[in-house]
Amino acid sequence: MTFEQLIPAPARAEATQGSPFVVDAATTLVAGPGTESTERWLRATLGGALGLPLRPGAEGAAGSVSLRVDGSLEPEAYRLTIESDRVEIAGGGGAGVFWGAQTLRQLLGPDAFRRARLRPGAEHSVPAGTVEDAPRFGWRGMMLDVSRHFMPKDGVLRYLDLLAAHKLNVFHFHITDDQGWRVEIKRHPRLTEVGSSRARTRWGHRASPLWLEHPHGGYYTQDDIREIVAYADSLHITVVPEVDIPGHSQAAITAYPHLGNSDVVDTEAMQVWDSWGVSPNVLAPTEDVLRFYEGVFEEILDLFPSTFIHVGGDECPKDQWKASPAAQARIKELGLADEDELQSWFIRHFDRWLTARGRRLIGWDEILEGGLAEGATVSSWRGYRGGIDAARSGHDVVMCPEQQVYLNFREDGGPDEPMPIAFVRTLEDVYRFEPVPAELTEEEAAHVLGTQANVWTEVMENQQRVDYQVFPRLAAFAEVAWRELPASAERDFADFERRMSAHYARLDALGVDYRPPTGPLPRHTRPGVLGRPIDGPPPNV
């Protein structure tokens, strides 16, 4: 591999005269203070793939790969120096060293992405030169919905590996919704005993007449969550959990009927939802509900050390509150104007509650409605507008507009795309996505923490389907999130496509069942299963 085949492309890469560095059984590893996680990763992952011991070595010795922290660099920045007899990876912090190691892995070729040695005796080398690089954004993420279709723990760990391989550093973990509650809460065991399983599942879009007539479910024990978080931390990835309130809560209400608006709906007869869309069943605005979710969040905080805790806040229908005498009395008691302010009351409560515990609330852009909580950060999903409004009012923002970076949207308009959803978002479309709107001033733009791609799994029943929707577009998104690129229309997509021709071999080695550039293979198709395609380009909202 050469420096011209890296994804994301680095800020600066320069080949130099000299022989390549050969990685073989004699290669040693020298790890300075603060680089221990990369040392372990290189031995386990790179050493395992190439069948090499990577024994400890002496500083400056010939044939060594040295890791060190250089405080003159930004924390996630790195400098990779390759000479014929030694390699050095210097990073501003442990994360920077790790991203430099990911670049070294790419330069070693597809074999370095396998689980075990493929070609005994084969020589592996990297070209002489220097790479200097640093990320544009501190938040470079992917959201994975495991509520609509559960992904077992091993699949989640695999996706953390895939994020790390693309220098993404935030995993937004969507673990509760109408269709399933996926995290063990010890003080409320029925959330998983009842709320983690549904009797059947809609097959296709919500308009589809087809059903999978068997139960679907699963959840992560607290030890599973601890393992996922610890593994992510070893890869310099932060796991941001999402517990949805006050909407998208039918699974929780099914488990504990007193959480719902029982004066207008029979919550005792409720079931975990088996279809898609927006459920009308939302949390009741009572003190009991607040105490219940405070208990939930206490356990969530114990499991997830992330500064940010996502509380959803999206797609909360107000019909039950409008019809509920108890909810209307609550609005009057609290001195609120309407149901929008009642939703804001929910969010403001948990904003204060989380702030008091040293955490920060983040929610979807609907939390702007009825007034934005003082410390809240906004995930701008319905377009750019929510993020623009939040940034202009001094709030931090993560840009993830559905029209640009919802990877559950179809990648092509062809008839064989499996269960096609919404607008066509091609690989090129994702590559031309710009997270920071031009109308923001420099001061306002500083509130854009970064960006993430979102993966909703209503029509993704297993890991293979997730792979197909996510890749190769996540590679394009990763470059957008990492690099300071030219203006959207001026980006060199032809160069990115050329580099992708090498990257597909890496994805093959990783076992990723991506969408081929030529279109879906027969195993990818889902003939006769309805999607919801929308014609034309998406609006710029």
Closest CA to 145 of 194, 169, 190, 181: 181
* Main-chain phi, psi angles of 89, to 5 degrees: -115, 115
Indicate which residue of 88, 133, 145, 177 is catalytic: 177
- Cβ-in-10-Å burial (0-12, 13-18, 19+) of 222 comes to middle
174 is catalytic: no
CA–CA gap between residue 107 and residue 101 (Å, rounded): 10
Q: Which long-range contacts (CB under 8 A, 24 or more apart) does 118-124 make?
A: 120/51, 123/22, 123/24, 124/22, 124/23, 124/24, 124/50
CA 95 vs. chain centroid, Å, equals: 18
Beta strand 86-91 with 78-82 is antiparallel
Are 455 and 142 spatial neighbours (Cβ–Cβ below 8 Å)? yes
Mapping DSSP onto H, E and C, the string for 511-526 reads CCCCCCCCCCCHHHCC
CB-facing half-sphere around the CA of 129: CA atoms within 13 A: 17
User: Both tokens of residue 404?
Assistant: 């640009």
Indicate which residue of 111, 227, 315, 416 is catalytic: 315
What b/e string do you get for 167-189 counting C-beta neighbours within 10 Å, with b at 16 or more? bbbbbbbbbbbbbbbbbbbeebe
CB count within 10 Å of CB 501 equals 10
CA–CA gap between residue 377 and residue 18 (Å, rounded): 50
315 is catalytic: yes
- Cβ-in-10-Å burial (0-12, 13-18, 19+) of 533 comes to middle
Indicate which residue of 205, 248, 447, 524 is catalytic: 248
274 is catalytic: no
Closest CA to 172 of 148, 195, 149, 139: 139
Q: Is 98 helix (H, G, I), strand (E, B) or coil?
A: helix
CA–CA gap between residue 476 and residue 166 (Å, rounded): 10
Beta strand 28-31 with 397-399 is unpaired
**What are the angstrom distances between the C-alpha of 66 and each of 384, 407, 485?**
43, 38, 30
Concatenating the DSSP letter of every residue in 309-350 gives EEEE--S---HHHHH-HHHHHHHHHHT-SSHHHHHHHHHHHH
Q: Which residues are CB-neighbours of 428 under 8 A, at least 6 positions away?
A: 476, 493
User: Both tokens of residue 102?
Assistant: 């990911």
| Active site positions, annotated | 177, 248, 315
